[in-house]
Amino acid sequence: MLNRDNIPEPAGVTAFNEPSFSLGGEGIAGKLLLLIVAILMCIGIVVVYSSGAGWAENKYSSSEYFLWRQLTFSVLGIFTILLFAQLDYHVFWKTSKIMLFASIALLTLLLSMKAVGIISGAARWIGFGPVKFQVSDFAKYAVIFHFSRLISEKQGYIRDLHTSYYPLITLLMTVVALVALEPNFSTASLIALIGFILMFIGGVNLRHLLATAAPMIAVATVFALAAPYRRARLFSFFSGHENGMSYQVLQALIGLGNGGLFGLGIGASKQRELYLPLSYNDFVFVVIGEEYGFVGALVVLALFAGFFICGLTIARNAPDTFGKYVASGITIAITFFALINIAVACHLLPTTGVALPFISYGGTALLFNSLGVGILMSISGHKKRERERMVLSELKERSLS
């Protein structure tokens, strides 16, 4: 079992070895979090079927193809949440280094396979047959786990440049660079942002972060303009008039406008009829806005706001600093992905391939996000499990004495 004496504890958090445990808002937050995610998954099943029926009929000769896959992965997602909710999250403390270097190795393998021609196009997926996953999803969680461990370990000298900041930024930039070269610029940017936020929360010297962020923004700008398709997306976003917009953006705005206040009704979307590409994935929020209107879109935003609040509540009441940073990282990652997807659909950000968590069609992304929710619930319920374990231990000792 992990020696918890090695994990620094934030001020105000009851130590593990103390006899009393304060069960406050984190227990309620965990249960509410599960309810919110279950509702989001149900919305995803309905909307993916509605938005993807035409595309599935055209491509797979079955209008229910996306429905059954989304339903299957949603059920697996719930089981994943319940499984990891019962797991002691400290297992990720012990395995974080292995996970991070495994993700770096897999990302390097993908780029090597692309270099020799085994993979053509974007090198993002690994696996065989139907069992495939995006390595960047795995890398994102590996960064969260290992950064949480390192920041916890280095609390005594977290502001030091050489022993703290350099090791952290080196690991982060290695993962970010490999993901960007897939190419997957949007996910690479989000992983970088998550890493910087965790370092900021952990107390890393702000001057060090700002000194790194400035050249990183310049490099990211050059990288974004290097590829013709990324330049086209940026020019489309900044064009300022309808003729300069991309086809996807124009169709997305038409769909949101069609919805009005209360929407056209379930299954009544016009844009889903092969007008809006990826209406069941990257632009699924457009179908929500069209079929359920402004009110329906607000409900989805409220659910993600509730997710964010529950996640921060769990982080604030975490039993130790490792749990605090893990909960913060997972909450930020899922919430940011949701906000970026919604912002792209509303033409508030340039078009990028970021799915809407728990709602967009996709199996492995849903399972990875479910894993994250399960860990959040594990952190929220840890005090209760420890209290129950201690009560059982005391009863056993009394029965033997």
Residue predicted with more confidence, 77 or 62? 77
Reading the block at residue 219, the tokens are 């490099």
Please tell me the predicted confidence (pLDDT) of residue 61: 80
Length of the chain: 401
Q: What mean pLDDT is predicted for residues 355-375?
A: 93
pLDDT in tens, 140-171: 999 999 999 999 999 999 999 999 999 999 99
pLDDT in tens, 349-358: 888 878 999 9
Q: Name the pLDDT band for 392 (thresholds 50, 70, 90).
A: confident
- Rounded CA-CA distance 149/153 in Å is 6
- Rounded CA-CA distance 374/86 in Å is 8
Please tell me the predicted confidence (pLDDT) of residue 101: 96
Please tell me the predicted confidence (pLDDT) of residue 11: 37
Q: Name the pLDDT band for 13 (thresholds 50, 70, 90).
A: very low
Please tell me the predicted confidence (pLDDT) of residue 18: 36
Please tell me the predicted confidence (pLDDT) of residue 401: 64
- Which of 19-23, 183-187, 217-221, 238-242 is least confident? 19-23
Q: What mean pLDDT is predicted for residues 163-180?
A: 95
Please tell me the predicted confidence (pLDDT) of residue 25: 62
Q: Pick from 351, 338, 172: which is nearest to 276 by CA?
A: 351
pLDDT in tens, 190-200: 999 999 999 99
Please tell me the predicted confidence (pLDDT) of residue 366: 94
Q: What mean pLDDT is predicted for residues 70-84?
A: 96
Q: Would you kindly state where each structural domain of the chain is located, as residue ranges?
A: 23-400
Q: Pick from 196, 191, 188: which is nearest to 165 by CA?
A: 196
Q: What mean pLDDT is predicted for residues 212-225?
A: 86
C-alpha Rg value of the chain to the nearest Å: 22
Q: What mean pLDDT is predicted for residues 89-97?
A: 95
- Which of 161-175, 186-200, 302-316, 381-395 is least confident? 381-395
Percent of the chain with pLDDT over 90: 54
pLDDT in tens, 14-64: 333 333 334 456 678 899 999 999 999 999 999 999 888 878 888 888 888
| 3 state SS of 265 | coil
Q: CA distances (Å), 139 to each of 104, 158, 193, 247, 368, in order?
A: 7, 23, 14, 32, 11
Q: Name the pLDDT band for 120 (thresholds 50, 70, 90).
A: confident
Q: Where are the alpha helices (DSSP H) in 260-381?
A: 284-316, 321-345, 363-380
Percent of the chain with pLDDT over 70: 87
Q: Is the pLDDT of residue 365 over 50?
A: yes
CA 329 to chain centroid, in Å, comes to 9
Please tell me the predicted confidence (pLDDT) of residue 3: 44
* Cβ neighbours, 10 Å, residue 352: 18
Q: CA distances (Å), 357 to each of 157, 236, 334, in order?
A: 36, 25, 7
Q: Is the pTM of this model over 0.75?
A: yes
Please tell me the predicted confidence (pLDDT) of residue 242: 57
Please tell me the predicted confidence (pLDDT) of residue 348: 87
- Which of 5-9, 83-87, 157-161 is least confident? 5-9
